[in-house]
Amino acid sequence: MKEPGVSILMTVYNGEKYLKETIESVISQTFENFEFIIIDDGSTDRSKEIIASFRDNRIVYVHQANAGVAAASNKGLSIARSRYIARIDADDICLKDRIRLQFEFLENNPGYVLCGSTAEMMDMDGNYIFTSSLPRSDEDIRKVLEKENCFVHSSTFFRKEAAVMVGGYNEMVKFYFNDYIFLYQLSKHGRVVNFAEPLVRYRMVPSSISLKIRDARFRDILKEIVRKGTATQQEIDYLISFESSHNLNQADKTYNYFITLAKLYRIEAKDWGRSMHYLVRAFKLKPLAFSYMASALTQILMPQQLIKHIRKNYY
């Protein structure tokens, strides 16, 4: 069987809401010589049915018992037949030329191991908000990567050989920054870049909004894990304990999501209508959260010269 030019890898767990749109964006790429590996990590919704509705022989469907996104990703890496891996999350969108542009870049730049791109940020309903701003050159990315992830995971495209060398995704670290660990380790094996042109649309949903954690020990442990690419049991135990004590219920996550969108529509899109729309939705959800609402209003009404401060400290 002919080796595909690219292995596009997606994991899904109960992703029925946006799955059809994501798959359609992949199979309609202008670059056609790929395999599309979909690892179903034990979904109990209609995900399997939706995937089966696509009659495209480039789709490789694998169902496994729920083991987590890292294990599902590693399963996909283990069966990928191409030299190149492109990632896409099950609620995001590939723009039509994405795979072609990234394939041609790595083909023509052997010193590079990883390329990503900026992203068109959209809300849960698919409405465009703004285009993300990310460091682009290898030099600029490395300045930031020591402190925080500066890649949109759904935009990443990398050499499989390098992914194998770093041991894939760390299955011991079952936290939101697992992709950061993986990408940081990849960066040790070659140059990296972010395309200025957005190649994906990133869907912001309540589960994707994380609070800025200011606990010094948590941040120090996170940085150490990212640097090493692994974690001690003591570090894992601390992170589990910390996240458990700071875990938000679904209502809190949705409230934070509405507040974040209210800020983004005002600050990035300068769309007062949608900003107020999400502010009202937040108020209806938690009408007694006076301090949070007052803080959000202050930031939304703040003069433009303070926008950089908001970006740095609040989202």
pLDDT, position 10: 98
Task: Report, in angstroms and rounded to the nearest whole number, the Rg of the chain calculated over CA atoms.
Answer: 20
pTM of this prediction? 0.90
Burial class (CB in 10 A: 0-12, 13-18, 19+), 313: exposed
At 196, give phi and psi (nearest 5°). -70, -30
159 falls in which pLDDT band (50, 70, 90)? very high
At 245, give phi and psi (nearest 5°). -75, -15
**pLDDT (mean) for 250-256:** 86
Is residue 308 pLDDT above 60, yes or no? no
Is residue 124 pLDDT above 80, yes or no? yes
Is residue 14 pLDDT above 70, yes or no? yes
As a whole number of angstroms, the distance between CA 87 and CA 94 comes to 10
Q: What percent of the chain has pLDDT over 90?
A: 63
Query: Do residues 59 and 49 touch, judged by C-beta distance below 8 A?
Result: no
**pLDDT (mean) for 259-266:** 89
Domain chopping of the chain, boundaries: 6-208, 216-245, 250-314
Is residue 303 pLDDT above 60, yes or no? yes
As a whole number of angstroms, the distance between CA 185 and CA 227 comes to 8
Q: What percent of the chain has pLDDT over 70?
A: 90
Pairing of the two strands 191-203 and 128-131: unpaired
Structure confidence by residue, pLDDT tens digits, 181-211: 999 999 999 999 999 999 999 999 987 766 5
More confident residue, 165 or 285: 165
Is residue 154 pLDDT above 80, yes or no? yes
| Summary mean pLDDT of the chain | 89
212 falls in which pLDDT band (50, 70, 90)? low
Q: Which of 129-133, 139-143, 272-276, 306-310 has the lowest mean pLDDT?
A: 306-310
Is residue 63 pLDDT above 80, yes or no? yes
pLDDT, position 296: 74
**pLDDT (mean) for 47-73:** 97
pLDDT, position 220: 83
As a whole number of angstroms, the distance between CA 260 and CA 274 comes to 12
Residue among 61, 75, 93 at smallest CA distance from 85: 75
Structure confidence by residue, pLDDT tens digits, 83-102: 999 999 999 999 999 999 99
Q: In the CATH hierarchy, which top-level class contains the domain 6-208?
A: alpha beta
Is residue 305 pLDDT above 70, yes or no? no
pLDDT, position 315: 39
Is residue 237 pLDDT above 60, yes or no? yes
